[in-house]
Structure 1
């Protein structure tokens, strides 16, 4: 499983790198704050909304602790998507949220 730490993702954003972040947490969790620019698809809806994603892009999967994003990673990878899991999830995130 390809992985980035929360700090690595934060540094990528600070450096202005173009990243595609998918937040798979539930609506109420995201309302408490998400990484700016992250696209929200709850894990339970991923199967039905994966057609909104582009297989030629790389996606960083994010959840609260890294477990659900790990499941999202495995599901999307099995369908041919290029994904990376953010370990530690939002619990480890020290960057800006909106």
Structure 2
């Protein structure tokens, strides 16, 4: 499983590359802030909403600590999606939130 640190994701966001970030935390967790532009799909709904994702794009998965996003990464990889886990999750995030 490919992984980026929170700092690597933050640095990529400052570049000109458009990132596709999916936050798999629960609604109450996201209410406290998420990475700007991230799509919120709770882990429990990912199986039912993965049809909203484009298999030609690469996605960065985010959660609180990196564990749930790791499971989401493995799940989507098993269906042929290109996915990267953000290790450390929002606990390590020092960038802006919305």
TM bracket (short chain): over 0.9
Normalising by structure 1, report the TM-score: 0.99
Corresponding residue SS for 2:59: strand
| 2:46 alignment partner in structure 1 | 46
Distance between the aligned counterparts of 1:94 and 1:8, measured in 2? 11
Q: Within 5 A, what are the aligned runs for 1:14-25? A: 14-25=14-25
CA RMSD of the aligned region, Å? 0.5
Q: Within 5 A, what are the aligned runs for 1:1-98? A: 1-98=1-98
Normalising by structure 2, report the TM-score: 0.99
Distance between the aligned counterparts of 1:25 and 1:12, measured in 2? 21
Count of matched residue pairs: 98
The structural deviation recorded for 1:14 is 1.1
More helix by share: 1
Distance between the aligned counterparts of 1:17 and 1:11, measured in 2? 10
Unaligned stretches of 5+ in structure 2?
Answer: none
Distance between the aligned counterparts of 2:73 and 2:14, measured in 1? 24
